[in-house]
Amino acid sequence: MNFELKTLDLNLAATHKTDALIILVSAKDKPAKGVLSQLISEARKSGDLDASPAKLLSVWRPQGVAAPRVVLVSSGDGSARVVRQAVTAAVTSLKSFKVEHLTLCLSEAGDYRLQAAAQAIADASYVYTTTKPSAKASVLKRVVLALPTADQTKAAKPAFELACAQVAGVSLAKEWGNRPANFATPSHLADVAKGLGKKTGMHCQVLGPKEIEKLGMGSFAAVARGSVEPLRFIVLQYHGAPKSVAPTVLVGKGITFDTGGISLKPGPGMDEMKFDMCGAASVLGTFEALSHLQPAINVVGLIPTCENMPDGSALKPGDVVTSMSGQTIEVLNTDAEGRLILCDALTYATRFKPRAVIDIATLTGACVISLGHVRSGLFSPSDALANALFAAGEAVLDPCWRLPLDDDYAEGLKSNFADVANVAGREGGSITAAKFLQRFAKDYPWAHLDIAGSAWKSGGAKGATGRPVGLLLHYLLTSTPASNKPSRRSTKA
């Protein structure tokens, strides 16, 4: 879908040709002249449109309005959160109609309202079709985001470009998160990364089993042993600043299917383990967004990707493997495989001399118990890094919550037969998993995002969410020191 930013006050909106016109009605809006303003005033007076967030009133062919369908929706206090709710409700109400051209009128764009509105439109109109030919694809092709004055439109252009980039990134992450494991193998993810590597400022390298063996990534290689699908280690680089500027490194867990290995998972719900590569998908989505924005920063994406399967050569409980760092690991549970592939990637990240490293993983069911499906788990020994990630999530409605990393939590990871065990007890499982990773991330500021509860939804709404692309993108753009070199996009302009 194509987004456009346009200047339309309510009088111009009345004459604007579009299949459907959505008007966000804020409690701050004052009565004015014009057919749409009058319609809003009458709806308020009659009680058909109160100030309740996402309250809807649909009107068919109102007199004096070019659009055949008009949806008035209350945006309450006008905050980004309520804008998202309102736009989601309005677009959902139109899904049964053939709306190819949609226009959304906002009264203002600040405080991330534009990004919230654009993402809500994309999410509400999304239809997965890749392996479901019977599904009716979304017919929505063109979306106009309208502001009432030319000055507002001009000021909103950077926010608009960010919104479009975020939508593109989240869409890519959702698409690959939703694909079944036989349509999203490690080789498929590598192909996506190679495609990104051809874009301006991007470079991609894909390593296979032989290269991984030479690097000494014994922990990563051990997880892949049980599958006929060969592992891939993806190294994506975005260069928007001089090489002297230290990059931020994003590490995404890419288990394209997780049976649990020899420590086999229960059958019910195992199909959802295709989502175990959503950390990898979020890194790919973030790089897609960066390709649109071309900011003056440097970013590296590392994606260890493989399947966790049980066959005769699979990793066994009690096996000891040697990580790239040289530390040996006793594998007490083969279903705790994500940390085994991430630890080698975290060691590899050291060669980039990063300013910060953030790993993103659907790591533990314990995090879902702790935080549910609203917030991602955030772990970091660095207050500055943790605070910046938390603030980014709050701003773009992709929230996380910081959990502790006390050294006492690592006691359960002690082993009689290796330097460390890959699991501790059930108590504090998301924290002990983070403590395991922390052992391999001591050379740089590090944070871990456990997205097991936020990366996908179950039940009737089953599907990937594309999180935390929004959080990562906003963090990179607001917290990464940019060089004096202008972005490529600003150079082109």
In whole angstroms, give the CA distance from residue 267 to residue 12. 57
Cβ within 8 Å of residue 120, ≥6 positions away = 83, 84, 87, 88, 91
Q: Which of 294, 391, 276, 392 has its CA nearest to residue 341?
A: 276
Written as one letter, the residue type at 209 is P
Q: What's the per-residue H, E or C state across 22-86?
A: EEEECCCCCCCCCHHHHHHHHHHHHCCCCCCCCCEEEEECCCCCCCCEEEEEECCCCCHHHHHHH
The sign of the CA dihedral 41, 47, 49, 52 is positive
Written as one letter, the residue type at 83 is V
Active-site entry in 81, 95, 199, 265: 265
Active-site entry in 44, 339, 375, 467: 339
Q: Pull the structure tokens for residue 120.
A: 């809500």
Q: Is 351 a catalytic residue?
A: no
In whole angstroms, give the CA distance from residue 272 to residue 260. 12
Cβ within 8 Å of residue 104, ≥6 positions away = 22, 23, 24, 87, 90, 117, 121, 143, 144, 145, 146
Q: Is 232 a catalytic residue?
A: no
**491 CB-contact burial (10 Å; exposed 0-12 / middle 13-18 / buried 19+):** exposed
- Going across the sheet that includes 328-330, the strands are 320-322, 328-330, 420-421
- Which of helix, strand or coil describes residue 303? strand
Backbone angles phi, psi at 52, to 5 degrees: -60, 130
Cβ within 8 Å of residue 443, ≥6 positions away = 350
Place of tokens 């209350």: 74
**164 CB-contact burial (10 Å; exposed 0-12 / middle 13-18 / buried 19+):** buried
Contact in structure between 237 and 299 (CB atoms under 8 Å): yes
Q: Which residues are catalytic?
A: 265, 339
